[in-house]
Structure 1
């Protein structure tokens, strides 16, 4: 049995914000009236109704067995390569369900010092540049030139909330997801990377969000950071595949370093970086995870 509230069409948008709409059913439009299926309501009178049951979209794994996940970044969908699959069928399904998606790309693993993906257009318009929003910040990205990982968004918010004062070094800034969120708190950030394309995107996003006065952008090789000893209160080292190569230099310039490293477990993370408390923040591959550890460099022996 389904219950509906009968309201005037003109009141529809107002009423749906005041009641708990039943997401399983579609509203019924009849003349100047709308019957809204509800689970709960306030001071409205309800009546039995027979709305149409919404059809749930099929999961991607139903269309392409073994293919479970993808990311939507602005107007682009990214499918991570997972062996020999029917990626064209997957792309067609995604574009049918998500109308705002104009391009679907196949993303292969990150490689090289610049941490970029090899991407291949599967369906739609071949334009890898898009704008997306995260935690109230607008980001301009080119998925063929920078690594974009929406699954780390909650972790970035945690780091933003953790940082209280600057200066902060975002040592592997890329297109600036950490930098911009922290700068939004009126904290000064130095954003550096070897990937010049990423830094150009970061600059454009900083201007777009009116945060450019708080962010200094530098291109450098992290093997030789162009800063004095202990120049930063906090260093963010988000380069899980290569960060262990730069740990000494990062600790030289920062009082505290937030490391992200690729490891099988906490013990391996300690062996690669330093013996501190490590927490798993994201999956990477089978039996391989991204771990986070905060190192107070003055407490680490030579």
Structure 2
């Protein structure tokens, strides 16, 4: 098995990223196939449980209150609707449900209490539960862990040097601090980034260096292609080349060989052939369902047809076991 390292240098990652494309894909595919379950793809479904009105200024995000993007502000979704969406996702083949709320940070209030109940009940459906709710304190992370949360998503988005160009309302260190709180609570970490923000290749390499040199690699690393949204500062950004996505996925797989690399936002713009290259390079997770929070996404049926064509199969929930979490009894 390939050695798992936490001391990658910028020069080493750059050499990998810039290697001839077919050599890069071959190297990452070889590492990917060391895992006997390489043909399995984790299917996740992402729903927005609280939409719009976010005080942050993330330059790519249609849910920021300061941008006029046509996204209607909606209060926290009722639990019954969330559970119905979870059942639909599970029936469609998803083994993980990710619930996203357009918050800057979690607040200890009734809305968070309601999210805790959602986590308990989706967990009781034998689905891996993931949340992306913004910044977390240690005690909030522990509450989520006690409720049965399997994963927490908190992306780095870009490099530390590039970060202030994209977001000014929170710091890079605050993002890393939230990841520390998630780790301490024994929740699995989902953290990656976005390409196509106008960043340099060096920024991409720097972001991968930060992720791969964490004390423990994220269990899941989403690689997103920017979906430019009218009304945001990045609305006019050109579409990222699929080969840039393949390079990022392959490099991420080489430097974080045991992490699940997720082919995330931007798949609607990709053909089946282009997605096949991403899977070959090491991607073994996707989001399925019509929407990714507020942006379009391929349907479950289309994705299942693609996986069948490529000889891939959905991965079961809790393939690597459940984290050491106390799950309280679900109250109906």
Q: Please report the TM-score for the alignment, with normalisation by the length of structure 2.
A: 0.28
Which structure has more helix as a fraction of its residues? 2
Q: Which has the higher contact order (CA 8 A, sep 6+)?
A: 2
Structure number with larger C-alpha Rg: 1
TM-score (norm 1): 0.30
Greater strand share, 1 or 2?
1
